[in-house]
Amino acid sequence: MTRDADATGRQVAVGDDPDVVVLTHPLARHKLTLLRDARTSTGEFRRLARELSMLAGYEAMRDLPVEDVEIDTPLERMTGHRLAGKKLCLVSILRAGNGILDGMLDLVPSARVGHVGLYRDPATLEPVEYYLKLPDDLPRRRCIVVDPMLATGHSAVAAITRLKQAGADSIVFVCLLAASEGIACLRAAHPDVRVVTCAIDRGLDDHGYIRPGLGDAGDRLFGTK
């Protein structure tokens, strides 16, 4: 996948898919390198994941509509702006998605939150659903689906399919790290879903792990093996 930087300093897919956005901000690149490091402790990994999710969140919410609103500052009356249109719903793909959910909630504390519980079958690498809890009014909300890794893409596809079945029609997928195979899988199944990530790595190994990657995001977030 060929990529280039646009005028804003973000990096977008060129020639393949303009709806795949890769962050190029120096802070994102710095924090992702620390996140990848095997020496990074569990507590530090959590902090970095939360900070990176905020940077990715700014990009994912770049095109939120706003409306004019009149307010009084301590000095005079002025016209400001506030969010308009559809409200937000953040959807975490369990369990690792919760590791970047809090950073998103720091940006939009009033957002509704949904959860899709999926685990990957170790033999088939296919997702198996074990939990689903979503707001009732998804058709009236923009959904931002969060999961630290986009590897094979199967879990992301399954989660987004369930959201669409529940009525969601405006969806963005945000991850910290992706493989081109996962992006291709997701975009083939859901070409209307924009993808925001901090990096695209070279590919997957025989076990479906991203290389060079950062290991198992869930284990590193929660201190498990």
Q: According to the annotation, is 155 in a ligand binding site? A: yes
Q: According to the annotation, is 148 in a ligand binding site? A: yes
Q: Is-contact 115 161, C-beta < 8 A?
A: no
Q: According to the annotation, is 149 in a ligand binding site? A: yes
Q: According to the annotation, is 215 in a ligand binding site? A: yes
pLDDT tens string 36-63:
999 999 999 999 999 999 999 999 999 8
pLDDT tens string 157-187:
999 999 999 999 999 999 999 999 999 999 9
Tell me the catalytic residues: 120, 124, 216, 219
Q: According to the annotation, is 150 in a ligand binding site? A: yes
Q: Quick one: pLDDT at residue 137? A: 87
Q: Give pTM, 2 decimals.
A: 0.87
Within the chain, what is the greatest distance between any pair of CA atoms?
65
Q: Which residues pair with 171 in a beta bridge?
A: 143
Please state which architecture CATH assigns to domain 18-65+84-222.
Answer: 3-Layer(aba) Sandwich (3.40)
End-to-end CA distance of the chain: 33
pLDDT tens string 57-116:
999 999 888 999 999 999 999 999 998 877 899 999 998 999 999 999 999 999 999 999
Q: Is-contact 218 187, C-beta < 8 A?
A: no
β-strands 194-197, 203-204 pairing: unpaired
Provide the 3-class DSSP secondary structure of residue 125.
coil
Q: According to the annotation, is 120 in a ligand binding site? A: yes
Q: According to the annotation, is 217 in a ligand binding site? A: yes
- Give the C-alpha separation, 111 to 105, whole Å: 7
